[in-house]
Amino acid sequence: MRIQQLIYLEKIAEKGSINEAAKELFLTQPSLSNAIKELESEMEIQLLLRTKNGVSLTPEGREFLVYSRQILDQVNLLEEKYKNKSPRKQAFSVSAQHYAFVVHAFVELVKSINSDEYQLTLRETETQNILDDLTNFKSEIGVLYLNSFNRQVLSKLFKEKGLIFTPLFDAKPHVFISRYNPLAKQKSIKLEDLEDYTYLSYEQGENNSFYFSEEILSTWDRKMEIKVSDRATIFNLMVGLNGYTISSGIISSELNDDKIVAIPLEYEDTIQFGWLKQEQRELSSTGNKYLDLLKEHIRGYGFHIYE
């Protein structure tokens, strides 16, 4: 195995095409293709799925690339120090439930990168997709919550998939509503206060298990309910329909409309937010930087961070 082969694989994964990668690497397509086939033969795995529309990494290829990038990062550090070579393009991916604090930290991460080249991905997605993204090495970090209702089921799934959950902070449930909603004048809200308002929640696709819900009290029967797929829509419906959802209480005024407020819910429960990673995977320097920014942002709201 040669370092150059790892560089070739990374470029192909980035371009999704051996032909396009060959152009940037100043190689012929056959020579690049042969270099990857030699690597596959030596490692005894299939790294690329080749189709008439291009190439993509196989699950084994995605896992291999994770470890390959760690090697290339170390090589680049040596070259930076002794050959004054410019830093490598930073690559990082996070998958999370729909939380403003996740997005805010991601924005700060992008601002902190001292380079005009990077490859970053933020996926606000369904709970099952978070687990799949981590298992398939599509994302380095996942962010979701546990509470007394879903902890046992999800913890079992984490163990089966080789994922480690690390707590970030605990929060009491809050109701997110429009500041023009009649309930916005109250210091706290009871469950019975919400009976005549439309409940808004995030859809969970085909795996519509109550345990995968992003909101607590997922089994509570509501008269009116709308499922959505993104935060912009859920906020628009809070304003347009006086709808509500239940979450952490953190609203980023820098990123979200100031028409939304969080009111404490009179319900005895604790929501524990945390991050996930593959058990055998070491976080990259970019991943660690993102976690630091995430913790810093959450502390700004007065929450105690687990260390």
Give per-residue pLDDT as tens, 100-124: 999 999 999 999 988 777 889 999 9
Does a structural domain hold residue 305? no
pLDDT of residue 253: 63
Q: Are residues 206 and 234 in the same domain?
A: yes
How many degrees, rounded to 5, is the angle at CA 11 between CA 9 and CA 17? 90
Ordered strands of the 141-146 beta sheet: 118-124, 90-96, 141-146, 271-278, 163-171
Tokens of 6: 């790892």
Neighbours of 257 (CB within 10 A): 14
| Model confidence, pTM | 0.79
- Asked if residue 141 and residue 289 are part of one domain, the reply reads yes
Ordered DSSP codes for 70-100? HHHHHHHHHHHHHH-PPPPPEEEEEEESS-H
pLDDT tens track for 42-72? 999 999 988 888 888 888 888 898 888 888 8
Tell me: do 7 and 135 sit in the same domain: no
Query: Helices 29-43 and 18-25: crossing angle, nearest 10°?
Result: 110
Residue 232: give the domain boundaries: 171-264
- 163 and 288: one domain? yes
Whether residue 304 is contained in a domain is answered as no
The answer to whether residue 12 scores a pLDDT higher than 60 is yes
pLDDT tens-digit map of 190-199: 999 999 999 9
Nearest to 199 by CA among 207, 191, 187: 191
pLDDT (tens digit per residue) in 257-305: 678 999 999 999 999 999 999 988 888 889 999 999 999 999 999 999 9
The enclosing domain of 12 has a CATH number of 1.10.10.10
Residue 83 has pLDDT above 80, yes or no: no
DSSP output for 35-81: HHHHHHHHHTS--EEEETTEEEE-HHHHHHHHHHHHHHHHHHHHHHH
Provide the domain count of the chain. Answer: 3
